[in-house]
């Protein structure tokens, strides 16, 4: 194959994106082909809910480095004058116990293989959203994703880079039989696709068709469930058809805090949206707009660390939590957090891992419907398991369980782990403003806070808010910052005790999308410059 003489990964000159405006519909994702899949469904008579599911299914095919058919998902939907939340994170297998790990000679869950796999919730989310709020059939909604999987698609530049990095990280698993189907699908003939190379997943196309024709049940009770069950039994997995059949996504009530003139909405635990809400609740009592960049970043970092200290102790499957979300968002608790923000960087009493691999997307239509949606395999490609004959890669969400038996997030059977993926939504005076989100593991609530401060405190447009340089709290006093934050700001943060490392690589800082409804009903959209993202507008 003759390659072009130019390199799609090299960009010598500064570029910029502008806010995109539309009236009849908008889909914002990390992949141009996925955005177009959503817009195609809108043009065929679907609404924003149909569009976001079409885009999500397409993303499961065109960005397998972050998500797949075997992902988990969460959504916030504005429909019929109110917000609706969907938790489509899966529970652990019935056989996942500490005794089972000890029997295998393990003291903790590995990052890859069968043991960290929980029931995937994304197919159930697609079916539930379309059934309750959509206008088209699930078959029509998933049709663009089926076409992309069957006919193939050219790989985008950032996806190609992440694909190669992931395959290098997986190389030591190359000879493990449980991972052989994974390499056969994603590195066919030992080759990793590069920018512009065509990639096909015909087994994935057939799986999507089965999901579409069965309203999602083929994944949990039919042929795909049979294939998952059989491969698990053959290769030492715990996930069974009974675990899959027992699963249903859960409709939940979103939580909110007031920030400036807006209401910020997130989903309740087992997700970590409450981290963003606690941090924002603490920051709401501070005049961030009048601070210089370093002081503002310091205050936000301290608020984030304080919120994580609480969440990493308490957030879990709601059935096992020791505290209520309402108590964590109470005025007294938020005031207490704010009071702890001092002039120096404090050392949190918790640690957090670094992992993440997720897609965030959103959609809106001309009728006023809007959706904030997120879907994830967790660590890049997830568990490194592809179920033979299905094209389905499985997430590894169970790795977020705690091995402390006294912790509310302790590993256990039929239990949802602490989840990092969080969709966000803004309202003002009870009226919808729009969906927003920033993916990226434990970066996500940090990204939510930073983008909202840019828009709501500093009055920057959504695209500028996504373009702005970011930082990420890692562990202890360690912070990773983009070089664009500036030497002066970084020096001032270090003087306050933050241990700041600097990078030019935007990958660790998440990838976001925003749709903002204007008072005249027009839609304003922004997409992440650190990704292959684009906005499809109508």
Q: Residue 503's closest CA among 471, 457, 458, 462?
A: 471
Range list of H helices, 77-222: 98-103, 122-133, 138-151, 157-169, 180-186, 202-213, 217-220
Phi-psi region of 131 (alpha: psi -120 to 50; beta: other; left: phi over 0): alpha
Residue 196's alpha-carbon distances to 129, 161, 482, in angstroms, are 33, 12, 28
Contacts of residue 337, Cβ cutoff 8 Å, sequence gap at least 6: 278, 281, 282, 303, 306, 307, 310
Residues with a catalytic annotation lie at: 358
The Cα 442–Cα 189 span in angstroms is 35
The radius of gyration of the chain from alpha carbons, rounded to an integer in Å, stands at 22
Q: What's the sign of the alpha-carbon dihedral 71, 89, 246, 103?
A: positive
**Strand residue runs (E) in 313-469:** 358-365, 370-376, 386-387, 392-393, 424-428, 431-438
Burial class (CB within 10 angstroms; exposed 0-12, middle 13-18, buried 19+) of 149: buried
Residue 312 CA, chain-centre distance (Å), reads 18
């Amino acid at each position: 194959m003759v390659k072009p003489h130019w390199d799609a990964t090299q960009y010598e000159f500064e570029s910029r994106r502008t806010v995109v405006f539309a009236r009849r519909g908008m889909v914002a994702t990390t992949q141009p082909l996925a955005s177009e899949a959503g817009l195609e469904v809108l043009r065929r008579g679907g609404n924003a809910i149909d569009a976001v599911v079409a885009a999500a299914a397409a993303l499961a095919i065109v960005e397998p480095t972050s998500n797949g058919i075997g992902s988990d998902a969460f959504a916030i939907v504005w429909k019929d004058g109110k917000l609706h939340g969907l938790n489509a994170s899966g529970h652990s297998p019935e056989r996942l116990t500490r005794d089972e790990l000890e029997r295998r000679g393990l003291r903790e869950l590995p990052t890859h293989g069968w043991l960290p796999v929980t029931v995937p919730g994304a197919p159930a989310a697609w079916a539930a959203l379309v059934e309750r709020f959509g206008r088209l059939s699930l078959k029509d909604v998933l049709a663009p994703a089926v076409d992309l999987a069957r006919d193939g698609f050219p790989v985008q530049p950032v996806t190609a880079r992440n694909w190669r990095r992931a395959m290098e990280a997986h190389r030591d698993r190359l000879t493990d039989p449980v991972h052989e189907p994974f390499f056969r699908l994603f590195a066919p003939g030992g080759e990793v696709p590069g920018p512009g190379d065509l990639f096909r997943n015909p087994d994935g196309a057939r799986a999507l068709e089965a999901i579409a024709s069965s309203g999602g049940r083929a994944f949990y009770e039919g042929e795909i469930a049979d294939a998952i069950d059989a491969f698990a039994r053959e290769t030492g997995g715990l996930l069974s058809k009974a675990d899959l059949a027992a699963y249903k996504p859960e409709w939940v009530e979103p939580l909110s805090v007031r920030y400036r003139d807006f209401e910020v909405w997130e989903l309740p635990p087992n997700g970590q949206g409450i981290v963003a809400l606690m941090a924002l609740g603490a920051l709401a009592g501070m005049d961030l707009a009048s601070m210089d960049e370093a002081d503002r970043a310091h205050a936000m970092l301290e608020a984030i660390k304080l919120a994580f200290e609480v969440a990493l102790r308490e957030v879990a499957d709601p059935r096992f939590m020791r505290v209520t979300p309402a108590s964590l968002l109470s005025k007294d608790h938020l005031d207490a957090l704010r009071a702890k923000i001092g002039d120096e960087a404090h050392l949190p009493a918790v640690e957090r891992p670094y992992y993440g691999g997720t897609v965030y997307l959103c959609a809106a239509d001309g009728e006023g419907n809007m959706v904030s949606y997120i879907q994830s395999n967790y660590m890049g490609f997830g568990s490194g398991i592809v179920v033979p004959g299905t094209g389905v890669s499985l997430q590894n969400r169970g790795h977020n369980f705690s091995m402390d038996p006294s912790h509310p997030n302790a590993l256990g059977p039929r239990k949802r782990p602490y989840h990092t993926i969080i969709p966000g939504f803004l309202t003002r005076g009870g009226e919808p403003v729009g969906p927003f989100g920033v993916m990226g593991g434990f970066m996500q609530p940090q990204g939510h806070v930073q983008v909202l401060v840019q828009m709501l405190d500093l009055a920057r447009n959504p695209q500028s808010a996504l373009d702005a340089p970011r930082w990420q709290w890692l562990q202890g006093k360690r912070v990773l910052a983009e070089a664009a934050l500036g030497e002066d700001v970084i020096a001032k943060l270090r003087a306050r005790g933050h241990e700041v490392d600097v990078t030019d690589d935007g990958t660790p800082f998440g990838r976001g999308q925003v749709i903002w409804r204007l008072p005249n009903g027009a839609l304003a959209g922004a997409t992440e410059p650190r990704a292959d993202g684009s906005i499809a507008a109508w």
